Structure 1
Amino acid sequence: MNEEASSERLLVLAPTGRDAELALEVLRGAGLEGEACRGMAPLCEALEAGAGAALLAEEVLSPAQAALLTAWVARQPPWSDLPVLIFTSQGGPLDLRGPALARLGTLGNVTLLDRPLRRMMLVSAARAALRARRRQYAARDVLAAQRRSMTARDQFLAMLGHELRNPLGAITLAAQVMERKGGADARQLGVVQRQAAQLGRLVDDLLDVARVTSGKITLERRPLDLGELVTRSLEALEPVAAARPVAFAFRPPGEPLAVEGDPARLEQVVANLVRNAIKYTAPGGHVEVALARDGSDAVLVVRDDGIGIAPDHLAHVFDLFMQVPTTLDRSQGGLGLGLTVTRTLVAMHGGAITVESAGVGRGSTFTARLPLLPAGQEAPAAGAQRAPPLRRRRVLVVDDGEDNRAVMQMCLEGLGQEVRVASDGPSAVAQALAEPFEVILVDIGLPQLDGYEVARRIRSALGRAPFLVAATGYGQPEDRQRSLDAGFDFHLTKPIGLRAVEDVLRRADGRR
């Protein structure tokens, strides 16, 4: 029986006399497909293959048998609500017909058919059950189409992120190399760095919102001092406030505030809220950030005296693609994604976020609350450790993008490394086997042999000796895991900055 036919069939379980045989005869005479089952276990097994409805005699619903059907009903997917038609016993009020009927409420979509049963009543009830079941199948198909659409969207955004991050990687790293070497016009270089960073944030927002809607954001939690994290985040945002310009102030908590969280994601929360405040505050305005303890919570408040929010827009501030209508120009950019991601990240940390505004032209206040760790579970103190100097080593850079390859080579040589390059998978493997390299940076999207296969072949031939680094525009958790499974020691997501390159070289030393 094909899937479409099985999804329309009526499963009949009526072991007394010829009830099942007579019911099937009536159903088939009306053009309906029916199938008799010999017990509750076979019926539940048949339900797995699909059914339009189940028709049961009341006498089969002993406690053990009813439990089997109840368990199957509880396992239904969200779209499914299997119609169950019960042939009840004769005589007496329904609530006095034994304990079997008392258990029917747990089965959900139940219709009681009183015996002796007229043919037209059985056919009418069966057809009504099938119409309801077909509507459920329609809902199932819509949900499946939505899942396929979301999968296609996620795949497209991942590819888009990869394609955008490759040129962004070259631009970002080249600008940082130029800044370190000196001699470039500081103003022009600043423009390049700021706009590259803005493009990077837009790409990250696009990918993050895809993860939010598909539930793929993961957190790497650890105890941390929220005050130190906020201070560090705001120091990085001071140039953004100065460029607007707006007056930027921070009122620290005056005591450690220990929370359990993902440092990168909490820094993203702070950055999104503060950037949003700066964006919607006119030049000469004020942005104030405050962090304090309130009972068992740490409370972060970001307040501005900018354009404010109309009362009818307050409820939608955190909605996807929502941007507050404004007379300010669009020079600040953005896609209306940051606050949606921010709300999700705060909620994933067990907190909540709210927004207040007295109206248009009267500023806005965002308040994020995060649960503090219980007393005695303090965050480890951040030790100011001086990074050891980098030693010289042999590094192989593998990238099919000429600009990315050249910029990475310049960066590494500027850090005192001896560098060789390769532009495809086979030549990378050949060089790695012919010469001793301590670190090999490999782009994943290589021609002929992709980066994963390059890593596998090098590991197979050389074991754990070289420190293998995946350098790619794909940065979701499953991408990182795939890199580790292929034999890479570390995964870098483009655009890759100078500090990340230095960190990788030190990680290579740490594995020795």
Structure 2
Amino acid sequence: MKPGSGTQAEDRLLLLVPTSRDAQLSEQILGRAGVTCTPCPGLEQLSAELDRDVAALLIAEEIYAVDHSGLLAAWLARQEPWSDLPIILLARPGSDSETLTRAVEQLSNVTVIDRPTRIATLVSVVRSAIRARRRQYQLREHLVLRERTETQLRETVEEVRTLLDTLPIGVVMTSDTETSRITGNARAHALLRVRTGEKFDGRVRVFDGDTEVPFERHPLTRAARGENVVAEHVDLRIDDSVIHAMVWATPLRNLRGEPRGALAAILDLTEQRRAELALRESDRRKDEFLAILAHELRNPLAPVRTALDILKRETQPGTRQNLHEIIERQVETMVRLVNDLLDVSRIARGTTDLDEQIVDLRQIVRSAIEISQPLIAAGRHRLSTQLPPDPVRMRADPLRLAQVFANLLNNAAKYTPVAGEIAIRVDIADRQARIVIEDDGIGIAKEMLTEVFDMFRQIREGGQKPSSGLGIGLTLVKRLVEQHQGSVVAESDGIGCGSRFIVHLPLTPIDGSSKTFPQSESAFSLRGLRVLVADDNEDAAAVLRQLIQMLGGVCGVVNDGEEVLDALRADKPSVAILDIGMPHLDGYTVARRIRALPEFDDVVLVALTGWGQDEDKRRSREAGFDFHLVKPAAYDALKAVLAPLVPAP
């Protein structure tokens, strides 16, 4: 049924009577009573008008009698559920006819009026039918409004459900104060391990620390009974897992303000808690490392200081030489500690470049053994070596790889009791080298096997203090091996059962012979070389000048960057060794000023500084330095820079 043009169409009375005269007369009578009539010439026109809004139908019995096709009955059968069109049937005089009987059976809402009828009776019946029809139209409007409201409600519910399912926090809700029915969003299902369609009831146990919280004190239960729960930390235990969470819960209330359920939000803090614990552990290990570092630096400093005090008073050459050797060994120990720290820093930041060469792996292992031999000998350990008979060629940084094996051998020597057994073996298979270093020392607890390569981690025997060292040797091993596209693992059957470290390195087929480590000469001469040293540390400058002069060179010293240009013009050196961190005028600025003057084009500039990162070296090059040495500069490093600059005799 199509809506009409408003109230006037809905109040229409359709007329279907035998003659136009009857229709005209009925329209006049009912019009005076305020009823709008629409005469229909026949059944087809009636059917068309019924599809519009209409209040009632007034039809004569003889007209209904000729509706053999059942048009009216068919239309009535198609009515919407709210519609029950009132029909007024004008019966012919006499007894009940077959047509009248059929009309009462087929037309559900029909009122029969005998003819002739009183006008008052007709008007009363028509008005009653129109009023009844108006109530039907009111029901239709109510049903339309309800359907629209329900549609909007379903859409709103779906929007809220979608919103809740996209939230990163779990949301659960109960619709009764006993929390017997609990539902949740997608995050709550995932967090609490409840599949869609399963119930939340009884799956979660709530703990405050190690104490289980009774059901009546659960946040959702308390909120369902009217309590607001704000940012409460709890542990939720589901099966064997624990979720550290923060919970907010609030009651849902009815129109009278009484609790009728509750809603709770659950923020998963498990990863945050793990991160906090890891940070605390990192802080603890950092503090332990700083204490160890202070201890490790004091150890070599003590004999150095004592030796210096003796040198002030001792005149015997033999004793002085022995003291010099003590100082040299202890200074080398401190340099090695600092270099290890710098190595770890560079590798961790990915700023270490490998100086890869074609090498023989056997030679690298032998070099590592030479490096570790003093520590092995000090422990009176027996070292067995098993190397392939033929060269093992590979592309690697020989110094870094020797550092890897030396660290592993040193580790074995430190953690093996006196007169222990240490073995190193190299096997080749499937284009890979397998290097095994094992000992019969104190061993490693199984739970520590995956942690021994962590920064500042040290192996402990029972409850004893860790051995000497910074706990970074194995970290260096792992990261240097990985830079060579290899891997390293630790194995042990437990405390007291020794340990085994296995390094795997890829071997690439290489044409040509392997490079060997260059052998440096023990001494060289700087005779004829003029050098200028600029350093605000007067002791450092004086010692360096003494070394250069001892090797036959001529050396001038200034202690301020502003004095360098005048010294260059006065002494005319071939080499200028400049400290970077001088006051008033730093080494970078001095170098740039020197390079800006053509008269100093032939002067070789060497940066000597405590700053040794790749970025520091880059800045040196940009400022005009030819070389960059890191304090304390080793004898071989100075030789490598200065020896080629010595003028021919």
TM-score range, shorter chain: 0.5 to 0.7
Does 2:391 correspond to 1:247?
Answer: no
Q: What is the CA distance between 1:128 and its match in structure 2?
A: 7.3
1:295 corresponds to which residue?
Answer: 430
Secondary structure of the structure 2 residue equivalent to 1:192: helix
Does 2:627 correspond to 1:490?
Answer: yes
1:437 corresponds to which residue?
Answer: 573
Q: Which runs of 5+ in 2 are unaligned?
A: 1-150, 170-266
Does 2:358 correspond to 1:358?
Answer: no
Spell out, residue by residue over 1:296-326, the C-alpha distance to the aligned partner (whole angstroms, 9 max, x if none): 1223222222111122222222122221112
Q: What is the CA distance between 1:506 and its match in structure 2?
A: 2.0
1:47 corresponds to which residue?
Answer: none
Spell out, residue by residue over 1:362-421, the C-alpha distance to the aligned partner (whole angstroms, 9 max, x if none): 221212121123142542356768689534211111111122112211211121111111
1:465 corresponds to which residue?
Answer: 602
Q: Return the alpha-carbon distance in structure 1 between the equivalents of residues 548 and 426 of structure 2.
A: 40
Q: What is the CA distance between 1:352 and its match in structure 2?
A: 0.9
1:261 corresponds to which residue?
Answer: 396
Does 2:594 correspond to 1:454?
Answer: no
Query: Structure 1 residues 277 and 436, CA, compared in 2 at 3 Å: closer, same or farther?
Result: same
2:120 corresponds to which residue?
Answer: none
Q: Return the alpha-carbon distance in structure 2 between the equivalents of residues 385 and 403 of structure 1.
A: 28
Q: Return the alpha-carbon distance in structure 2 between the equivalents of residues 121 and 115 of structure 1.
A: 10
1:61 corresponds to which residue?
Answer: none
Spell out, residue by residue over 1:252-290, the C-alpha distance to the aligned partner (whole angstroms, 9 max, x if none): 332211221222321221221111111112222232223
Q: What is the CA distance between 1:437 and its match in structure 2?
A: 0.9
Aligned to 2:332, which of 174, 197, 219? 197
Spell out, residue by residue over 1:62-102, the C-alpha distance to the aligned partner (whole angstroms, 9 max, x if none): xxxxxxxxxxxxxxxxxxxxxxxxxxxxxxxxxxxxxxxxx
Q: What is the CA distance between 1:358 and its match in structure 2?
A: 2.7
Q: Which runs of 5+ in 1 are unaligned?
A: 1-113
Spell out, residue by residue over 1:176-195, the C-alpha distance to the aligned partner (whole angstroms, 9 max, x if none): xx9xx974456544443333
Spell out, residue by residue over 1:139-175, the C-alpha distance to the aligned partner (whole angstroms, 9 max, x if none): 9xx9xxx9xx9xxx9xxx9xx99xx9xx99xx89x99
Aligned to 1:314, which of 446, 449, 474? 449
Does 2:567 correspond to 1:405?
Answer: no
Matched-pair contact (CA < 8 Å) for 1:259–1:370: no
Query: Structure 1 residues 242 and 203, CA, compared in 2 at 3 Å: closer, same or farther?
Result: same
Q: Return the alpha-carbon distance in structure 1 between the equivalents of residues 640 and 335 of structure 2.
A: 20
Q: Return the alpha-carbon distance in structure 1 between the equivalents of residues 167 and 569 of structure 2.
A: 66
Matched-pair contact (CA < 8 Å) for 2:458–2:466: no
Query: Structure 1 residues 350 and 331, CA, compared in 2 at 3 Å: closer, same or farther?
Result: closer
Secondary structure of the structure 2 residue equivalent to 1:475: coil
Q: Return the alpha-carbon distance in structure 2 between the equivalents of residues 510 and 233 of structure 1.
A: 36
| 1:178-257 equivalence runs, <5 A | 183-185=318-320, 188-257=323-392
| 1:268-347 equivalence runs, <5 A | 268-326=403-461, 332-347=467-482
Q: Which amino acid aligns with 2:633?
A: I
Q: Which amino acid aligns with 1:470?
A: A
Matched-pair contact (CA < 8 Å) for 1:425–1:454: yes
Matched-pair contact (CA < 8 Å) for 1:238–1:248: no
Query: Structure 1 residues 330 and 438, CA, compared in 2 at 3 Å: closer, same or farther?
Result: farther
Matched-pair contact (CA < 8 Å) for 1:305–1:363: yes
Question: Which TM-score applies when normalising by structure 2?
Answer: 0.50
| 1:367-378 equivalence runs, <5 A | 367-376=502-511, 378=513
Secondary structure of the structure 1 residue equivalent to 2:404: helix
Q: Return the alpha-carbon distance in structure 2 between the equivalents of residues 262 and 193 of structure 1.
A: 27
Matched-pair contact (CA < 8 Å) for 2:386–2:424: yes
Q: Return the alpha-carbon distance in structure 1 between the equivalents of residues 538 and 383 of structure 2.
A: 42
Q: Which amino acid aligns with 1:502?
A: K
Query: Structure 1 residues 389 and 311, CA, compared in 2 at 3 Å: closer, same or farther?
Result: closer
Matched-pair contact (CA < 8 Å) for 2:422–2:439: yes
Matched-pair contact (CA < 8 Å) for 1:411–1:498: no
Matched-pair contact (CA < 8 Å) for 2:461–2:495: no
Secondary structure of the structure 1 residue equivalent to 2:596: helix
Query: Structure 1 residues 382 and 347, CA, compared in 2 at 3 Å: closer, same or farther?
Result: closer
Query: Structure 1 residues 440 and 131, CA, compared in 2 at 3 Å: closer, same or farther?
Result: same
Q: Which amino acid aligns with 1:476?
A: Q
Q: Return the alpha-carbon distance in structure 1 between the equivalents of residues 463 and 643 of structure 2.
A: 46
Higher helix share: 1
Q: Which amino acid aligns with 2:607?
A: A
Q: Percent identity?
A: 38
Secondary structure of the structure 1 residue equivalent to 2:605: strand
Aligned residues: 371
Larger gyration radius, structure 1 or structure 2: 2
Matched-pair contact (CA < 8 Å) for 2:452–2:474: yes
Root-mean-square deviation (CA), in Å?
4.1
Task: State which drifts further: 260-269 or 119-128.
Answer: 119-128
Matched-pair contact (CA < 8 Å) for 2:357–2:515: no
Q: What is the CA distance between 1:494 and its match in structure 2?
A: 1.8
Q: Return the alpha-carbon distance in structure 2 between the equivalents of residues 319 and 226 of structure 1.
A: 26
Q: Return the alpha-carbon distance in structure 2 between the equivalents of residues 121 and 509 of structure 1.
A: 86
Secondary structure of the structure 1 residue equivalent to 2:555: strand
Structure with bigger RCO (C-alpha 8 Å, 6+ apart): 1
Spell out, residue by residue over 1:302-354, the C-alpha distance to the aligned partner (whole angstroms, 9 max, x if none): 22221111222222221222211126976952121111121111011011112
1:506 corresponds to which residue?
Answer: 643
